[in-house]
Amino acid sequence: MAKSSSDVPRPVLKWAGGKRQLLPQLAKYLPTSYGTFIEPFVGGGALFFHLRPGRAVLIDNNPELVNVYRVIKEDVNGLIASLKKHVNDSAYYYGIRNADRDPGAFKGWSDVERASRTIFMNRVCFNGLYRVNKKGEFNVPFGDYKDPVFCDEGNQLAVNQVLQKATIILGSFEQCLDFAKKGDLVYMDPPYVPLSTTASFTSYTRDCFDVTAQKALFSVFQELDDRGCKVMLSNSYCDFILDLYKGYRIETIMAIRAINCVGAKRGKIKEVLVLNRFE
């Protein structure tokens, strides 16, 4: 279904841990000026779309997500035409979803077709999740929504415009060091440290983001600080993170936990925002 929206770009994808609801809180801590905006875990890109910076570097290790952004930047009209072909039907959805079960056939898809598939599934699947199994196969069931919008033409065009000022990189978070320099703003929003053994939703890609990865990220944070970058990092409010970043400024913000199979466990929860003491 196609609808039009305003000229102000919004996230194209629903993304677990997306920061759209937290923008008013994050805005309180943003620096008054900065050079290039760099986001090593871009995900849904809520802060990027809110800031609409003059220069940006967007990095993620999810190839389908990065492909979506590249296609919107380079061939938004082709993407819109492809999105208009989809239908909100269970059998159709599972046919599209199961394309990645046949890697040979799926690899034959064009970049536009892959981006269209990702957006369509994200908008009609249950709870708007992006989740893959250990084989890298998208495994979220059909959402059975009455009228999901999977072709917001106006927003696609607005996103196309703001992405013209962005460099889009498929890679690990460490690659931000290839671009970051003094005065740049780096916002890090990694997979969070689980608060319990059951709260381990880190499957945006086949790779787990474990304690070793969190410590490697801390080393990157330190390097960015040493370079004179302005760094912000979001993560769980837990002893591990509080201890790891104890040498930096730590603010507590309140987020709404929206993804949980048990409704009673959804609600407000503490998160931390770590800053390297910039104004």
Do 57 and 76 fall into the same domain?
Answer: no
- Distances, alpha carbon 127 to alpha carbons 123, 256, 258, in Å: 9, 15, 9
The identity of residue 178, as a single letter, is D
In this structure, are residues 107 and 67 in contact, taking their beta carbons and an 8 Å threshold?
no
146 and 223 co-located in one domain? no
Of 154, 189, 204, the one marking the end of a domain is 154
Q: Is residue 15 part of a domain?
A: no
Which residue's entry shows tokens 């102000």? 8
- Report if residue 6 sits inside a domain: no
Out of 126, 154, 182, a domain closes at 154
Is the separation of the CB atoms in 166 and 9 below 8 Å?
Answer: no
Domain's final residue, options 154, 180, 201: 154
Q: What is the CATH number of the domain that holds 253?
A: 3.40.50.150
Tens-digit pLDDT string for the chain (279 aa):
545 555 789 999 988 777 888 999 999 999 999 999 999 999 999 999 999 999 999 999 999 999 999 999 999 999 999 999 999 999 999 999 999 998 788 888 999 999 999 999 999 999 888 888 888 889 999 999 999 999 999 999 999 999 999 999 999 999 999 999 999 999 999 999 887 654 444 344 445 788 899 999 999 999 999 999 999 999 999 999 999 999 999 999 998 765 544 444 456 889 999 999 765
In a domain, 205, yes or no: yes
Number of domains in the chain: 2
What CATH number is attached to the domain comprising 88? 1.10.1020.10
Range of the structural domain that residue 217 is part of: 20-61+171-275
Indicate whether 56 and 144 sit together in one domain: no
DSSP reduced 3-state for 130? coil
Give yes or no: residues 196 and 111 share one domain: no
pTM of the model: 0.90
Buried b (16+ CB within 10 A) or exposed e, 237-271: bbeebeebbeebebeebebeeeeeeeeeeeeeeeb
Sort strands 249-257 and 267-275 into parallel, antiparallel or unpaired.
antiparallel
- What is the Cα Rg of the chain in Å? 19
Token reading at 162? 């703001």
Dihedral pair phi/psi, residue 45, rounded to 5°:
70, 30
Residue 231 maps to a domain: yes
CA distances from 29 to 59, 102, 107, 230, 233 (A): 22, 46, 43, 11, 11
> Does residue 145 sit in the same domain as residue 185?
no
